[in-house]
Copies of this chain bind each other. A is one copy, B any other.
Amino acid sequence: MTERIGYLGPAGTYTEQAALLYAPDARLAPYPTINAVGTAVADGELDAGVVPIENSLEGSVTFTLDLLIAQPGLSIRNEVVIPIDHYLVAPPGVSAAAVQVIYSHPQALAQCRAYLETRFPSALSEASLSTAAAVADMQASPVPAAAICPQRATELYDVQILARGIQDNTVNQTRFAVLAHADHPPTGHDRTSICFAFAVDRPGNLYHSIGEFARRNINLVKIESRPTKRELGRYIFLIDCQGHRAAPEVAAALDGLRQRVDMFKVLGSYPFWEPHES
């Protein structure tokens, strides 16, 4: 049966591009928010959902972290990493010289700031709700306009490409999480995401906790903290470590950690993303 996969919409965004790369043959459906994707997966309306979790320039997507912490019945089953490659597009017939306004998501505008200042010093930057919505905003503009959008949007809309690769920093990648009811079986090149919290703040709490990994020579790939939303200065910690939770050393570290903390949740074990040859 064809898998039903939701993603943070609308169509034409980088998240749709990630979903298509992950599951080209699935039935894809856009959802309006990260929470809506998570709820639809947890409720069984979807087999899986694709949401952004981290960008190499912006850092973590906190909505996704908070969803993983709070929503039962949700695991990370896979990750997908794609390069962020911004296209500059205009309606057919509008030349670059005529452009007076440039629409995009604020992050995309910020990531192309030097390019825009050099090439379009007198054009206004206007914020859109997504990189795909920017194309619609451009089409509705009363003055000659352009939009910054993903390659995928150039396939869906009637636009001409003025330029590509216009981002100032070339190291711009986004990691997406594929959320499902269960995580992934071991593959031999896996990562595990967990979260935990302490009821009482004591010196050395975190030190002794991550010692469970250090002592077993397990590399921590990432550590984050998120507010508990109950008191300023109290946190839930999120850790990504190397290895699958079913691997004996990782299982022992997780067991050791579980006994030191007051809240503990495995968010999932899943294979590292390896770029497709295409």
| Contact present for B219 and A203 (CB under 8 Å) | yes
| Contact present for B57 and A227 (CB under 8 Å) | yes
Number of copies of this protein chain within its complex: 2
Contact indicator per residue, chain A 101-133, by CB within 8 Å of chain B (1) or not (0): 000000000000000000000000000000000
Complex Cα distance A231/B81, Å? Answer: 12
Which residues on B sit within 8 Å (CB–CB) of A217? Answer: 203-204
**Which 10 A/B pairs are nearest by Cβ-Cβ distance?**
A207-B214, A204-B214, A56-B232, A203-B219, A173-B232, A203-B217, A207-B210, A59-B227, A57-B229, A56-B227
A54 and B232 in contact, given A62-B59, A225-B222, A226-B59 (Cβ under 8 angstroms): yes
| Contact present for A171 and B231 (CB under 8 Å) | yes
Q: Across the two chains, which residue of chain B brings its CB closest to A83?
A: B232
With a 10 A CB-CB cut-off, give which of A81, A204, A210 has the most chain B CB atoms: A204
Q: Does A276 have its Cβ within 8 Å of any Cβ on chain B?
A: no
Which residues on B sit within 8 Å (CB–CB) of A57? Answer: 227, 229
Contact indicator per residue, chain A 168-197, by CB within 8 Å of chain B (1) or not (0): 010101010000000000000000000000
Query: Can you list 11 contacts pairing A with B, beta carbon distance less than 8 Å?
Result: A55-B227, A56-B227, A56-B229, A57-B227, A58-B62, A59-B227, A201-B219, A203-B218, A205-B220, A206-B210, A207-B207
